[in-house]
Amino acid sequence: MTRPASYRHEKDGFVFLLEAADAAALKSIPDFESREEPAVAEEFLRFRAETWADQLTAAGARPGIVVVRLEPRQRKVRLLSGEALLFTADI
């Protein structure tokens, strides 16, 4: 089975995108290492999208595409709109 180039989840007009390389990096984190793609990426986005959408709306961000970048060693995720950092959150 070939994995998709990216995973996406939509919530309240925000489309959260997780690239395949970041999904692979997600599996390096102990909480996620036993899970397989695509389930690990899809679950990761699905369980966090509502909180992220609420936080982005509260901060005045406009709905649209949000790129999710992982920093697995720091257990952080960066949410980006284009090249602009929207916010950083714990994993």
Q: What are residue 27's phi and psi, to 5 degrees?
A: -70, -10
Q: Give per-residue pLDDT as tens, 72-82.
A: 889 999 999 99
Domain count, the chain: 1
Confidence of residue 3 (pLDDT cuts 50, 70, 90): low
**Residue 72 belongs to some domain of the structure:** yes
**Residue 52 belongs to some domain of the structure:** yes
β-strand partners of 19: 6
**Residue 48 belongs to some domain of the structure:** yes
What pLDDT, on the 0 to 100 scale, is given for residue 42?
Answer: 93
Q: Give per-residue pLDDT as tens, 11-65.
A: 999 999 999 999 989 988 888 888 888 889 999 999 999 999 999 999 999 999 9
**Residue 49 belongs to some domain of the structure:** yes
Compute the CA torsion angle 26, 30, 36, 38 (nearest 10 deg).
-30
Range of the domain at 53: 6-17+25-90
What tokens were used for 2? 């070939």
**Residue 1 belongs to some domain of the structure:** no
With contact defined as beta carbons under 8 Å apart, do 19 and 34 qualify?
A: no
pTM for the structure as a whole? 0.90
Burial 78-87 (b: 16+ CB within 10 A, else e): bbeeeeeebe
